[in-house]
Amino acid sequence: MENFWAFAALIALASAAETEYGNLIGDFTGTIHKVTGTVYAVDERTFYIRGFSYDGTAPATVFYTGTTQEPAAGGLSIPVPGAQDPNNLREYNLEDVMITIPDGRTIKDFRWLSVWCVSVGVNFGHVNIPDNLVTPETKSLGSFGFSQRVHDVAADDVIILNSKQFKFINLDYDGRGPAAYFWTGDGQPDSNDIRVPHPADQPNAILPRYSGATVTVTLQEGLSVEDVDFIGIWCELAKQNFGHISIQSSDVTDIPPYIKPLTTPVPPSNLDNCKVLVPDRFQIAWTLDEPNNKIQMEFRGLLSLNEYLAFGISGSPSGGTLMIGSDVTVVWFDPSTNEPKAEDYLLNQYSQCLPEQGIGACPDTLQGSEENVVLISGDLTNGVAVILIERPINSPDPQDLPIPTTEDVYVSWGIGFINPTGHVAKHDIRPSDDVLINFGQSSSTCPPLKTVDDAQGGKEPWYIPPLRPEGNATFTAVIGPSGGKRGYVGRAGQVGWGLLWYVNGMLIPEIYVTRGNTYTFIIYGGNDVSVSGNYHPFYITDDKDGGYAQKTDAEKELETIYAAPVEGDLCEYKAVKFVSDDKYYSFLSYASSLQLKCPANAVPGILKWTPDENTPDLVYYQCYQHRFFGWKIHVSKAACGTQMSFALLMLCLQLFLFLH
């Protein structure tokens, strides 16, 4: 075991001659429009095109596949991930492209891959798919864990995804090991083997609790699946094997290759000036046109669909970076159309937008003002957005702040998501310090951004323990931050506002209750109706988004309220210092970064609720004033012998007599 790393190095050298892109299909032939490239099968559905070129001059050109003898109309278009226009290929110059056949179909269902012009029905180049092609496939290793569980470790399946990655399906682990890690090596597990860090960028992160989680782990640099004999969980301090599964009996000769995220530098901006707001993430470029009272701004950043970039003049232009009162432009790509969007916002309160009142983080058009931002162009390529807008330097609109051209001015910026109402949610990333810009400065530049085509997907949401009280129970609800992609977004599958309910210290936990029991909710959500961002009445509803007060009369007719709204003084979890939510590997580590702020002698609201036979099996605790604050309450029948209503007790007694 001491020689494990040396052994792995020899194996890596021996296998270096094998392709790192998958099984070879061939080169594009019969090409025009400068089409070139070598095509590989990464797995049963994915093509990897190495060194792809195309001049980008023809309309409506796509990757295309079909079942006819030669390329012809009637085939299937294959989109490029992250492409600005999914119906037309841009210019490529010896770039690598990875595309996946949609609709669950496989490479072997087709006879060719073409660069095809749909508008005129012309083949610009194609490669034939051999009848005897073998496509790499993932391998199932089966269930995981000892029959007598150690620390509850078990998984329904462990899958070899590719030459470096394993996926655990429905993984359980109680999180109580003092120093537990994913573990690999040769032979049988022992203390001389090595960690498989998870997350990959946190080699010392101890594993959190998992309950029914899907977890993907990646072997360290220099190791592949062929180099190791097992994957498992090991506790370093206790020197104990919590569970492992062997790879030795599995054929791993034709699994998919591991392909690192594709990166391509995006050229620097052509505008006169540029400032880095977040290194490798967000840049703002600009050019002044003072004779015409205009400024062009180019937003450049790593962006996913429905994620926004915001930038503008601070609410305190000469005093510091202040969100309240900021006049910002918000840009994003609409996920339904892939089209760029740009809107003029005045942030008049620190709360989500209340469209009917124009209060909160709302577009100018909902505040009785005009849209003074003009969208010029936008491109989203492999996760990098470049959106160009134009706006007045000095606008007659009272909602717009002037842009000084001869002196420093404080600015505001943020990165977050557009929520389902079409408005900005609370930023996930914001300035940690004051930010000064001189828009009239001499020329300045930013380094190129790199595009990222990340085939590995995002990070898994945190595990949040459910609340399963016995009998009558009490819950305490306060306000706190949403946790971003690993918090509300990961759990609810949609964008929230940025604040939500913490119940008994947990971020929107699922709550399990029993009909006939009485539950007391102690509410610290804020009761100052004049400050929308601090006013969060708690209620129970059958609507998964809540926000009854925001709804139209027609929408209100569709909602049933099971516990009327209750308000109390505001208590709120706040971050001690700003760190991106994604950096925390578990909710417990994230929670340790928060501090509860609560006024002395705070008075809560009290909501008492007894679910009965008229209560649905699934309801939601939510905020009456704002949407997207809460989560699920599961309602079940009372079991005989537990506290229950008299009617239910009689039913149980009748059932007992019938059975006996």
In degrees, rounded to 5, the angle at the alpha carbon of residue 629 between the alpha carbons of residues 624 and 635 is 85
pLDDT digits (tens, 9 = 90+) for 374-423: 999 888 876 788 999 999 999 999 889 999 999 999 999 999 888 888 88
Q: In the Cβ-directed half-sphere of 71, how many Cα atoms lie within 13 Å? A: 26
Q: Cα–Cα distance between 29 and 32 in angstroms, integer?
A: 9
Please report which confidence band the pLDDT of residue 15 belongs to, taking 50, 70 and 90 as the band edges: very low
Q: Cα–Cα distance between 51 and 46 in angstroms, integer?
A: 16
% of the chain surpassing 90 pLDDT: 60
Q: What is the DSSP-derived secondary structure letter of residue 637?
A: P
| Residue-level pLDDT at 580 | 66
Q: Which residues pair with 534 in a beta bridge?
A: none
Q: Cα–Cα distance between 301 and 188 in angstroms, integer?
A: 46
Sorted by where each begins, the domain ranges of the chain are: 23-128, 139-246, 265-453, 473-636
Q: Above 90 in pLDDT, residue 495?
A: no
Tell me if 633 sits within 8 A of 620, measured CB to CB.
Answer: yes
Please report which confidence band the pLDDT of residue 303 belongs to, taking 50, 70 and 90 as the band edges: confident
Q: Cα–Cα distance between 496 and 536 in angstroms, integer?
A: 14
Q: Which residues pair with 331 in a beta bridge?
A: 309, 342
Say which residue, 659 or 499, is predicted with more confidence: 499
- Tokens encoding 596: 């509860």
| Residue-level pLDDT at 2 | 43
Q: Cα–Cα distance between 53 and 61 in angstroms, integer?
A: 13
- Domains 265-453 and 473-636 belong to one CATH topology: yes
Before 396, cis peptide (omega within 30)? no
Average pLDDT over residues 208-223: 87
Tell the burial category of 356 from Cβ atoms under 10 Å away from its Cβ (0-12, 13-18, 19+). exposed
CATH for 473-636 is 2.60.40
Domain 265-453 of CATH type 2.30.29: no
Whole-angstrom CA distances from 1 to 30, 189, 244 are 53, 10, 17
46-54 vs 36-41, strand pairing mode: antiparallel
Average pLDDT over residues 538-546: 96
User: Of 73-82, 187-196, 255-264, where does mean pLDDT reach its minimum?
Assistant: 255-264
pLDDT digits (tens, 9 = 90+) for 107-159: 999 999 999 999 999 999 999 999 999 999 999 999 998 888 889 999 999 99
User: Of 340-349, 470-479, 528-537, 543-552, where does mean pLDDT reach its minimum?
Assistant: 528-537
Please report which confidence band the pLDDT of residue 635 belongs to, taking 50, 70 and 90 as the band edges: very high
